Amino acid sequence: MSYDPIISLRQISKSFKMYEKPIDRLKQVIMRKNNYKEFWPLKNISMDIYRGQTVGIIGKNGSGKSTLLQIIAQTLTPTEGEINIYGRIAALLELGSGFNPEYTGRENAIMNGAINGFTSAQIEGRMAAIEAFADIGDFMDQPVKTYSSGMYVRLAFSCAIHVDPDILIVDEALAVGDMQFQLKCIEKMKAFKEQGKTILFVSHDGYSIRNFCDEAIWLIDGEIHQRGDANSVTKDYEDFMKHGLDSIEADETALHDEERSSQVLTINKVEFRDGQGEYKKHFQFGEDIYIELDYQLHKSQQDLVGGIALFDKQGTYICGLNTKLDKYKLSELPGNYKLILKYDKIALLPGTYSIDVGFFESSGLVRLDYKARYDSFRISSERYFAEGLTFFEHEWSLER
């Protein structure tokens, strides 16, 4: 990473005029009446991003993430403040931006290259690579308005990466593409990172940002609430978002991922057993618990990551473990497997506990299969000895 900023923002604010009725716009022009309210999605943003950094941007919907990216990509002009960009930007923002729907994919690719300063000969030299990566076949010569959302994303990402950008900006548009294309895009983003390019990555998924980004920026109501190492910022953000959102997000995640799970990997079954090999779901405090995760890998996948997360009945996140953090390598060859996690002499206090199980590609940006609150087990004890979630070995002493 260089210590020269490639993106520099100083007191950036953005205002939009909001009218109650369309005719109020006309009244303002003709009668000079200000019949509008001002909405400020960004307020006094100052920051530097350096060459070679990969920065995640998180925040609730409406926090100003997309507006900030559009200003950095220079598709929006700030109302106040100064912005300096020292390199070529390629941006994959919200679906529907950047292309003329009446033009063909090829014509849009040519225009995109021209906007980025390439000559006709340079664009022609890149066209074969753009077509190959997008892989949309004859639709390359059809109007973009006939594209599915997946085809649109394929072409948009292919155009973005083939203009040799110094800065790559990726909003959550990649979630629209199919899993195979997502994996191809992630590999390209990893290559960009290794080449020392700057990447801005927006996601609501803290796990993805922790695995892929060096730093994270958390926006609240158009202002930078927190900036720092990706692990600390995303953990604080997740704590902030927990109240009332856990069950909704878990259900949506499970539904979304079940639609895609069979393409690369499928989780077939999860079972619990004790140290004697007995399969059960009711354990005593202090027992060893084995979680057996049966899955099928349909296609070869390098650096596969498997993980299990543990929650109490209120949805409190107790512990999340995965094979990447523990440097435990999984086979990349297609086949049927059983991944086993052992909790030694579990110290959870009596209660019911549920698990999430999932598999990811190496950076954590694509979930190959994920089951939220997939199953649960119960801990019991014949004696009353502590309160809370877990038990700590301890001793008392008294001094005078």
pLDDT single digits (tens) 65-100? 989 999 999 889 999 999 999 999 988 876 556 788
Q: Is 15 left (phi over 0), alpha (psi -120 to 50) or beta?
A: beta
Kindly indicate whether the domain formed by 263-380 is annotated with CATH number 2.70.50.60: yes
User: Under a CB-based contact definition with an 8 Å cutoff, are residues 158 and 181 in contact?
Assistant: no
* Reported pTM: 0.75
- Model confidence at 277, pLDDT cuts 50, 70, 90, reads very high
CATH number of 5-241: 3.40.50.300
Give the phi and the psi of residue 68 in degrees, each rounded to 5: -60, -45
- Give the 3-state secondary structure of residue 190: helix
Note the pLDDT tens digit of each residue in 89-128: 988 876 556 788 899 999 999 998 898 888 889 999 999 9
User: Residue 223 pairs with which residues in a beta bridge?
Assistant: 220
169-173, 221-225, 369-373, 387-391: the lowest-pLDDT one:
169-173
Residue partners of 273: CB distance under 8 A and separation at least 6: 279, 280, 289, 290, 292
Count Cα neighbours of 232 within 13 Å in the Cβ-side half-sphere.
7
User: β-strand 223-229 against 215-220: which pairing, if any?
Assistant: antiparallel
Question: How are the residues of the chain apportioned to helix, strand and coil, as percentages rounded to the nearest 5?
Answer: 30, 35, 35
Domain ranges of the chain: 5-241, 263-380
State the CB neighbour count (10 A cutoff) for residue 86: 13
pLDDT tens digits along 200-244: 998 888 888 988 899 999 999 999 999 999 988 998 888 888 754
C-alpha span between 44 and 30 (Å, rounded): 32
Residues 305 and 208 sit within 8 Å (Cβ to Cβ): no
Q: How far apart are CA 25 and CA 106, in angstroms?
A: 38
DSSP 19: E
For 9, the enclosing helix (H) or strand (E) is strand 5-19
